[in-house]
């Protein structure tokens, strides 16, 4: 059974803290994605990566950075968390050669910044 896992389901942090969200997939996928999900806005792409150490900005990269040191792991970093980053964060992965088949999603991390 294919899997995308995220390090935490719920996370509470304080304004100004550095926050790490981890995502791991076991499907040997090249593509990995970070989205944030907000009511009425759907999913918006923050960053994606199509290979180790490669990254590209999505639609809303401001305030975020990413790291991909290993193929199976893609980390989202909030350098200095702010209250407007309170959201649900979803990680996804897909095959580089067959990106149109599907993206596989993790369970999400609900982050609250106080």
Partner 1 sequence: AQTVTQSQPEMSVQEAETVTLSCTYDTSENNYYLFWYKQPPSRQMILVIRQEAYKQQNATENRFSVNFQKAAKSFSLKISDSQLGDTAMYFCAFMGYSGNTGKLIFGQGTTLQVKP
List interacting residues with partner 1 (CB under 8 A): 4, 31, 33, 35, 40-45, 48, 50, 56, 58, 90, 92, 94, 96, 99-103, 105-108
Read off the DSSP letter of residue 53: T
Closest CA to 81 of 20, 7, 10: 20
Q: Are 53 and 69 in contact (CB under 8 A)?
A: yes
- We find the least distance from the C-beta atom of residue 18 to partner 1, in angstroms, to be 27
Task: Select 47 or 113, whichever has its Cβ closest to partner 1.
Answer: 47
- We find the least distance from the C-beta atom of residue 85 to partner 1, in angstroms, to be 19
Task: Select 58 or 63, whichever has its Cβ closest to partner 1.
Answer: 58
What number of residues does the chain have?
Answer: 114
- We find the least distance from the C-beta atom of residue 32 to partner 1, in angstroms, to be 10
Closest CA to 48 of 69, 33, 70: 33
Q: Are strands 56-57 and 109-113 parallel, antiparallel or unpaired?
A: unpaired
- We find the least distance from the C-beta atom of residue 66 to partner 1, in angstroms, to be 15
């Amino acid at each position: 059974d294919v899997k995308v896992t995220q390090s935490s389901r719920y996370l509470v942090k304080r304004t100004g803290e550095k926050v790490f969200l981890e995502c791991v997939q076991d499907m040997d996928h090249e593509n990995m994605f970070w989205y944030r999900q907000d009511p009425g806005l759907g999913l918006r792409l923050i960053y994606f990566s199509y290979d180790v150490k490669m990254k590209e900005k999505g639609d809303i990269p401001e305030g975020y950075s990413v790291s991909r040191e290993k193929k199976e792991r893609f980390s989202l970093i909030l350098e200095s968390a702010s209250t407007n980053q309170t959201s649900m964060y979803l990680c996804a992965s897909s095959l580089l050669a067959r990106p149109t088949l599907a993206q596989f999603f993790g369970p999400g991390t609900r982050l609250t910044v106080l």
